[in-house]
Structure formats: structure tokens, C-alpha cells
């Protein structure tokens, strides 16, 4: 894996660098992710916050997630790109959106999660384990 790696929004106002390997990556079909992905899964990449260096000031929107705790989605206020999420239940991690990485090609999702909220037409990765909600830690 290319570490460190970098990413940011489409217009460049929000940038980040990560100095550690991702802890995990998932295809997330939760309803909240569908707003970011335009319907299918979001590809979320878990990294330690201590290894995440942000430049720029993304806007945030906080909702109560389906797991029952507040979760903040961070996006660029100029171009609207979803960049990362901050689950309040796990302040030590940041959930990157793979699409905003400079090179998302090397990400290997480990599982499909929140299958219970997937749209009936949503494509499902055939070879990955599926979980109705969050994956077991």
C-alpha cells in the first residue's frame, strides 16, 4: 500500500495526507451513504485520526446514525465532494471516502456492510462477506 497517501475534494480547497495504512475498507450501503454516493454504496476507508492531517476547512453535517450515535459527514463547501466522516462513537478514527483519494485504485474492501438498507437494484460485490449493519470489530 502506498503510505503516506493523500486525497482531497475535487476543487482542491480541502486536502489531507494519511501517514498510516488503512485499518479497513468497506462498501457501505447505509441510507446516509446513499446520499453521498448517489444511490449505491459508499466506499469507506478507516484510518487512525492520529495519522490524518487535514488542510482546509470542510463543512460538516451531523445526524444520528442508524447505529444510534451522532455521526458527522465532512464535505467541501465549494465543490460538495464528500471527503470523510467522523463517527462520534469512535473519535480515534476517520472514515475516508475512497472517491476523494488521489488514487483509490489500491483499496481492497473487506466486506459489504449495511446490506439491510441497500436498494433492491444496488450492485453487490459477489465475493465479499455481507453484514446487515456494521461489521463485527
Which of 18, 25, 30, 100 binds Zn ion (CB under 5 A)? It is 30
For residues 10 and 63, the answer to whether their CB atoms sit within 8 Å is no
Task: Give the C-alpha separation, 17 to 128, whole Å.
Answer: 28
Task: Give the C-alpha separation, 65 to 83, whole Å.
Answer: 17
The x, y and z cell numbers of residue 108, run together, are 481492497
9 binds Zn ion (CB under 5 A): yes
Q: Bridge partners of 28?
A: 42, 113
115 binds Zn ion (CB under 5 A): no
Task: Give the C-alpha separation, 60 to 24, whole Å.
Answer: 23
Q: Bridge partners of 55?
A: 15
Please, which residue, 11 or 125, has the CB nearer to Zn ion? Answer: 11
- Rounded to the nearest whole angstrom, what is the least distance from the CB of residue 134 to Zn ion in the complex? 9
27 binds Zn ion (CB under 5 A): no
Please, which residue, 64 or 79, has the CB nearer to Zn ion? Answer: 79
Binders of Zn ion in range 62-91 (CB under 5 A): 76, 78-79
Name the residue with cell 465549494: 78
125 binds Zn ion (CB under 5 A): no
28 binds Zn ion (CB under 5 A): yes
- Rounded to the nearest whole angstrom, what is the least distance from the CB of residue 35 to Zn ion in the complex? 10
Provide the binding-site residues for Zn ion, judged by CB under 5 A.
9, 11, 13, 28, 30, 33, 76, 78-79
Amino acid at each position: 500500500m502506498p503510505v503516506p497517501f493523500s486525497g482531497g475534494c475535487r476543487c482542491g480547497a480541502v486536502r489531507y495526507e494519511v501517514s498510516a495504512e488503512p485499518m479497513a475498507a468497506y462498501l457501505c450501503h447505509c441510507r446516509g451513504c446513499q446520499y453521498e454516493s448517489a444511490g449505491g454504496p459508499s466506499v469507506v476507508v478507516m484510518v487512525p485520526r492520529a495519522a490524518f492531517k487535514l488542510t482546509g476547512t470542510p463543512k460538516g453535517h451531523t445526524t444520528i446514525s442508524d447505529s444510534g450515535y451522532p455521526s458527522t459527514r465532512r464535505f467541501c463547501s465549494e465543490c460538495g465532494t464528500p471527503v470523510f466522516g467522523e463517527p462520534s462513537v469512535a473519535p480515534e478514527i476517520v472514515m475516508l471516502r475512497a472517491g476523494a483519494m488521489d488514487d483509490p485504485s489500491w483499496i481492497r474492501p473487506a466486506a459489504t456492510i449495511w446490506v439491510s438498507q441497500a436498494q433492491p437494484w444496488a450492485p453487490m460485490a459477489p465475493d465479499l462477506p455481507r453484514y446487515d449493519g456494521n461489521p463485527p470489530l
